[in-house]
Structure formats: structure tokens, C-alpha cells
Chains A and B, each alone.
Chain A
Amino acid sequence: MELHPIISSKGMNSSSTQFVTPSRFGIYEPIHQLGTWGENFKSNGNPNTSTPMIMEVDIKLDAQVQTSEDTSHRTFPPPTKYEQEASKPLKLLQIQRRLVQNCEVARKSRLWKKAYVQQLESSRLKLVQLEQELERVRQQGSYIGGGVDGFQKGFCGPVNPGIAAFEMEYGHWVEEQTRQICELRSALQAHISDLELRMLVEGGLSYYFELFRMKSTAAKADVFYIMSGMWRTAAERFFFWIGGFRPSELLKVLGPHLDTLTESQNMEVNNLRQSCQQAEDALTQGMEKLQSTLAETVAAGQLVEGGYIPRIPTAMEKLEALVSFVNQADHLRQETLQQMSRILTTRQAARGLLALGEYFQRLRASSSIWATRPREPA
């Protein structure tokens, strides 16, 4: 434990002023202001060099008592010469006491400073998140209304009501999902019955299916919006495949958490992995074909004046095909989840769902972490 003698008291006002109780000996203990302490410890690097002699400090201290701006209940006159001579051992005790109390105050000051810094940090994080949200909404606004006219700041043009509704619903979905993950986590730790756990698993699965239904409706309103993943964080978009996560990725995430599989379960999971990959590859190739034919259609077609989408029937067909691809991809995700649920025991499925939920939470957090990382000034 370091002992930091009082260096100085600058008399700054602070709302968190701490009062040190007067000692039994009736000696006035100076009031220390924590803000000041923080300043002192920041600027005084090496405690050794700034440690004055104890006797010196005492004298300074007594002088400070007279001039301090703090509210004080009583002021005591400096001890007389007689008192000083007679109470040398008492003096030692006073010094010791003072040093211990200084140490305590210094400790509290450090804790206060730490808490304050943590608060600042979380506020800063919140601010960055809000800025990102704002930027995202701005981009979306320019995406919906801009088009050929280029990017425009802020909201512009009519906002697609179907998409606006979806955005709001998705926000709720994420919140509810977070709650479900917490519930699942505590349920697994609490060792509830298999039946109750099964209900949680079924609930969790059907909640994913609910999202797929929401996406299907939104895709009809604006398929490019769903395909672009603008409704998701940047990190999630990085892994995007036809409007969502890759089904094969899902199996990779679950992999390490399925260490208790039986022989036959292992075989079934391997088969699922293979068939999932094959289905994914087939859809990917179909998607590539769609992209190239759509590009050809747009290239060959003529833009109607002022219009963004070429009003040619075949182009509309292609866009409808895009919707069916999004639906197929979601169907694949749903089937993968259902098959896993069938292969695994209730407890394994619960752990798998928890792992999946936490994976997506971490992925979402990655975006903010990256954005708020400390950067060197340009």
C-alpha cells in the first residue's frame, strides 16, 4: 500500500467532496477534494520526488487549514510550542493516522476517477452507435429516393412503407431474440426439465422462422433492400449470402458445441453438412445466372425517362425471380435449422441455439467494436 502525503489542496469546488471525520484527539483533519486529488496524481508522476519531509507537510497542512475555501465546521489554532513538545509521540500517531486516511482518500479518488472514465467510455460508444445509425438511415434514404440522381443527404423521396414497417419489426425481433437468448442461457444453467427446455427450443426455432416470413413480405416490397442487407450491421453484411446467413456457416458455428454427439448423430450431421453445401452451391450458381441475365436485360433495355427501373416485362420477371431466390435461401436456412433440431437431443439443440444466438450477437457487436477502436490521428 502506497502512502501519499498531502501535497496541496487547491481549494477547487467539487460536488463529490468527501469529509474526513475529525480525530478523537480533536485535531482538525483537512477536507480533501477528490477532483483535486485526481489532478495531483496525474501530474505528479513519481511519488518519491514529490514527497516532502513529513514535518514539512505538517506545517503546510496546518497553514492550509487557515486558508482553505472548503466549508469547515471548526478551525483549530495551530498547536502551541508547549503542545508540540509535550505531544511528540501523539504527533507521531497523528501523522500515522493522517497518512492512513490520505491513503484511503486517494484510493477512493482513484475509484471515482475509474468510474467516471468508464462512464465516459460508454457514452462515447453510444454516441458512435447513434452516428452509425444516423449514417445508415441517411444512406437508406438516399438509396430509396436517390437512384440515378446520386446520393442525397438525409431523407429524400418517398420511403417505402413496406420497408419502413419491416425495419421497425426487425428492431423488435432483435430485442426479443436477445431476451430469448438470455432466457435460454439461464434455463441451461438452471437444469430445467427436458419438456420445458423443448418448449424453449421450439420457441427459438419458430422465432427464426418468423423472421423468414417477415423477410418474404419485405422482399415483395423491395427485393434489392433485402438482398443488400441494409437492415443488418456491416459485419453481418460481410458474410451475406442471398439475403441472410449461409446455411453451411450455421453448421460451422454449431460444430464445436456438438462434442457430445453419438456415432449415428455424427453421421447424420455430416450428411446434412454435405447436402446443405450442395444445395447452397446449386442456388449460388442459379443466382449467378440470374445476375448475368438481369444485367443483360438492363443493358439491352431502355430506361424510361425519369424512371429508374426499366419497364420491360422480362426485367420484372427477373426481379420476381430474385424474390423467389430470397425465399429459397430462407427455406434452406429453415430446413437446416429443422434438420439439426431433429438430429440433436433437446439439450444439445438448446445449447446449439444458444451458441447460434450468441454468434450473431457477437457479429453485430463486431461492427461497433471496429468503429470505436482507438485510432492514430491522421
Chain B
Amino acid sequence: MDKITRLVSEKGVVIFSKSSCCLCYAVIILFQELGVNPVVCEIDQDPEGREMEKALTRLGCNAPVPAVFIAGKLVGSTNEVMSLHLSGSLIPLLKPYQ
């Protein structure tokens, strides 16, 4: 979807979220803890939110939020972020953006 593609290519770290989603909040907190300021897009507050949600699901996000993009690539949802972090692979990805 255009809006998503544009956003993720322009910004380094993008997290698609919903204002009511507390798991999204947890992921955002984690990134901030790691010294990164992610761009947060709350799709429930966005007029194109519904389409974005569908697009994110098509891209492979079950949840569909939180959906984390780093350097234009979809990293995944909470599960993937946590796995990456515990294996030590998340911080190297975030280094350029810290």
C-alpha cells in the first residue's frame, strides 16, 4: 500500500500501532529503552486506517499491530521483535538510528 511504503522508505524505524493497543505500547517502550525514537503511526487515528490494516495483514502481520519496519523492511510483530532482541540481533539493526 502506498502510504505504508512511502512511510517506511522515508523513515528508518516505523511502528504501526493502535492507540488502544498496549502491546504496541510495550514495543515502543522497548525501542525507546534501546535509544531509538521510532516513528509511530496509529492506524486507528488515521483516515486510511482500515486499508492500512488490511495491507499490513497481507504483508504477513497476524496482529496486524504492532508492525515494525526497520530500514524499509518488515521485521514483524511483537514475537519477532522479542526473539531478535534476545538473540542479540535487534541492536545491530537499530545502530544507525540510535
User: Which A residues fall within an 8 A CB radius of B?
Assistant: 268, 271-272, 275-276, 278-279, 281-283, 285-287, 289-290, 293, 314, 317, 321, 324-325, 328, 331-332, 335-336, 339
Contact = CB atoms under 8 A, between A and B. Distances in A.
Contacts of B88: 268, 271-272, 275
Contacts of A281: 29, 33
Contacts of A286: 22-23, 25-27, 29
Nearest to A317: B20
Contacts of A287: 22, 26
Contacts of B82: 279, 328, 331-332, 335
Contacts, number: 68
A321 B21 contact: yes
A242 to B, nearest CB: 11
Interface of B: 20-23, 25-27, 29-30, 33-34, 78-79, 82-83, 85-88, 90
Nearest to B83: A335
Contacts of A290: 22
18 contacts: A268-B88, A272-B86, A275-B88, A278-B33, A285-B25, A285-B26, A286-B23, A286-B29, A287-B22, A290-B22, A321-B23, A324-B23, A328-B26, A328-B79, A331-B82, A332-B82, A332-B86, A339-B87
Contacts of B29: 281-282, 285-286
- The 5 A-B residue pairs with the shortest CB-CB distance in the complex, in nearest-first order: A286-B26, A282-B30, A290-B22, A335-B86, A282-B29
B86 A336 contact: yes
B44 to A, nearest CB: 11
A300 B29 CA distance: 27
A279 B87 contact: no
Contacts of A275: 85-86, 88, 90
Contacts of B79: 328, 331
Nearest to B81: A279
A116 to B, nearest CB: 54
Nearest to A271: B88
Contact of A293 (B20, B26, B78, B90): B20
A338 to B, nearest CB: 8
B16 to A, nearest CB: 16
Contacts of B20: 293, 314, 317
Given A271-B88, A324-B78, A331-B78, 10 more contacts: A268-B88, A272-B88, A275-B85, A275-B90, A278-B34, A321-B22, A324-B23, A328-B23, A332-B86, A336-B86
